[in-house]
Amino acid sequence: MINVKKIEGENILSYKDIDFEFGKGVFLVSGKNEDSKTAESNYSGKTNLFESVLWGLYGTLAKWIAPDGSLYPQVDKTDIIRYGQDECSLKVLFESNGSEYIVERSRTRKAGKLSLYCNGNNISEATSQKTQEALDDILGISFQTFVQSVFFAQGSKRLTQCRDVEIKQVFDDILVLNLWEEARNKLRVDLRNAEREVNEIKRENEYIMAEIRGIESAINVAIEDYNKKKEQVKEFDKVKLDKIKDIDARIEELKKKIPDIALDDLIGNEEINVHMIRNSLRDAQDRTASCTAVYRSLKMRMNEVDKLISQSKCPTCLRPISKDFKSGMVDEIKRNLLEAEENLKEAKEEADVLEVIYDIVELINDKNRILSEKPKEPSNSQIKELGEKIVNLKKKIKDIDYTILNNLKVLDEAFGPKGIRSEIIKTVLPVINDTVNRYLIDLADNDLSIELSAVSDLKSGKSIERFSINVISSSGKGYHSCSGGERRRIDFALALALQSILPRVNLFVCDEPFESVDSGGQELFVRLLDRYAREFSSGVYVVTHIPTLSGLFDKEIQIVRNNGISRVIS
């Protein structure tokens, strides 16, 4: 709770010096303007005394704020300085949660300064803005809420005139609902981290699964190749037999070319010297070539002898050639030619036979090689290796524990608008409604009642959080159709209810609450305030310009203005 104890200042608004202690009970704040014969109590500085508290705590005044919540365009923040002076200063002393605080705020024509002390220690931040934020945290209540629940200022925007978002801000402050929002913001950091961690694990697992799927495809290809090779092994003997049959058939064909040659011993050998047969074949082929050359040479010689026989003389020595010589020469060449022809025939026959034998031997060697061949069993080592890779990769897949993430999501929903916050509002609103209407009974004798609502139904059937204030009167009139006095009673009851439900400040200021209120209503107002002050041990200050009301109050503070300077008399 904020217990405002005292203010001290210089040159604040119309005050040259302020030294005022706040007390308990109901105080009438009256005024006397000695500078004007017609103003009487107006402009004496009554309201300025309490506006200075607002300025000290928040750096602004209620009368500076337009109904839309912004500063009036004509406001000059140096207006806080008393006319004719160049600077002002103010101290606000208050207690909160067992600690004593002092707010020191000053202003020159050029700039302002703010300092904050706690139990005698300077806890000011580096800038006035940061210091104000620290002070706002200590107060725990915004300027708007302070005005709505603590300072019932004349002409200020009342809760009934506020938009949904403004009413929401007031309730957030009074019910400290911003703590749930702050908790949710902190929680969402953990939630985002948890979601990031889960998504990272998911991505890693997806990469691993993609690699596993690739390996599984490779395994399917390897299995298909393995089965194909297994089928080839099964077909091996049949293919082998077909090759041998083909070789045997070719050997038999070759044997027909050399029917007189016995090849049984040759074929029966397990190892046949192909090189030896190849060399014999080459020798036979060489002999055939040699015999062919001799035979051709003798044929040429025979042609020359035939030419010589037709001549009577030797072309070289010109001697006569006898018949016997010619006959002997021809016989000799014919014998040599016949012998050469026989030799050529024998050499050629031998080469042909050896060539056939060579081809047969080569086929026999091919047959022996085929007979010695054994099928190569296909290996499944690649399949095993790929399978082991999958096993190892599956070990890297991480289990995702959704417990923390799910718990954080539950808490996020609980801390959200439809969670604990909504339940608090649902619980508190009926109490506020009852309190406001109880005060209205005292003020309006059952003629007026209100209903605060935080839920609005949509055409779609869904509902959303939307604050509204509905006025119920015996005549069926809404707030804006009520008279000035009725609206004053409604606004006053609302402000007092906000104070009484959660009294965060020991101070309640009513600035001209009796405007448009008849004498009977004025007495009801004072009785209600007196009961409230005793119930909550608060200081209630009623600012009014109506002198006839002094008899209704036990305590009175008079503000006198003289020569432009206001001062507290009693």
Question: Contact at 8 Å (CB) between 123 and 116?
Answer: yes
Sort 77 into a burial class: Cβ within 10 Å, 0-12 / 13-18 / 19+: middle
Listed in sequence order, the DSSP H helices in 140-177 are: 143-149, 164-174
Structural contact between residues 307 and 314, judged by C-beta atoms closer than 8 angstroms: no
Return the SS3 of 207.
helix
Phi, psi of 565 (to 5 degrees): -115, 130
Q: Which of 46-50, 294-298, 431-435, 444-448 has the lowest mean pLDDT?
A: 444-448
Q: Please, is 126 exposed, middle or buried when counting C-beta atoms within 10 Å of its C-beta (0-12, 13-18, 19+)?
A: exposed
* DSSP helix/strand/coil, 1: coil
Structure confidence by residue, pLDDT tens digits, 272-293? 567 887 888 888 888 889 989 9
Query: Could you tell me which residue, 392 or 482, shows the higher pLDDT?
Result: 392
> Per-residue DSSP letters for 244-297?
HHHHHHHHHHHHTT-TTS--HHHHH-SS--HHHHHHHHHHHHHHHHHHHHHHHH
Dump pLDDT digits (tens) for 187-216.
Answer: 999 999 999 999 999 999 999 999 999 999
Q: What is the pLDDT of residue 201?
A: 92
**Strand 539-543 with 555-562, pairing:** unpaired
Residue 383 has pLDDT above 70, yes or no: yes
Mean pLDDT (the chain) is 85
Integer Cα distance of 271 and 292 in angstroms: 35
Residue 269, amino acid: N
pLDDT attached to residue 263: 62
Instruction: Kindly report each contact of residues 69-72 with a partner whose C-beta sits within 8 Å and lies 24 or more positions away, as own/partner.
Output: 69/144, 69/157, 69/166
CB neighbour burial string for 162-201, b if at least 16 within 10 angstroms, e if fewer: beeebbbbbbbbbbebeebeeebeebbeebeebeeeeeee
Averaged pLDDT for residues 25-38: 88
Residue pLDDT, tens place only, 408-425: 989 988 888 788 888 888
Residue 261 identity (one-letter amino acid): I
Torsion over CA: 10, 12, 15, 21 (sign) = negative
Q: 2-12 and 507-511: which strand pairing?
A: unpaired
For residues 283 and 329, the answer to whether their CB atoms sit within 8 Å is no
**Stated pTM of the model:** 0.63
Instruction: Encode pLDDT of 231-270 as tens digits.
Output: 888 888 888 888 889 988 988 888 888 876 666 655 555 4
CA 4-553-518 angle, to 5 degrees, is 110
Instruction: Evaluate if residue 41 carries a pLDDT over 90.
Output: no
Q: Tell me the three state secondary structure of residue 185.
A: helix
User: Per the structure block, which two tokens stand in for 221?
Assistant: 């290809």
Residue 502 has pLDDT above 70, yes or no: no
pLDDT of residue 270: 46
The gap from C-alpha 403 to its chain's centroid, in whole angstroms, comes to 19
Please give the pLDDT value at position 321: 66
Distance between start and end Cα atoms, the chain = 28
Residue 106 phi/psi, 5° resolution? -135, 160
CA–CA separation, 368 vs 370, rounded Å? 5
Residue 236 zone, left/alpha/beta (φ > 0; ψ -120 to 50; rest): alpha
Q: 420 — phi, psi (to 5°)?
A: -60, -40
Specify the amino acid at residue 443.
L
For the chain, what is the largest distance between any 2 Cα atoms, rounded to a whole number of angstroms? Answer: 197
Distance CA 435, CA 502 (A): 12
Mapping DSSP onto H, E and C, the string for 548-567 reads HHHHHCCEEEEEEEECCEEE
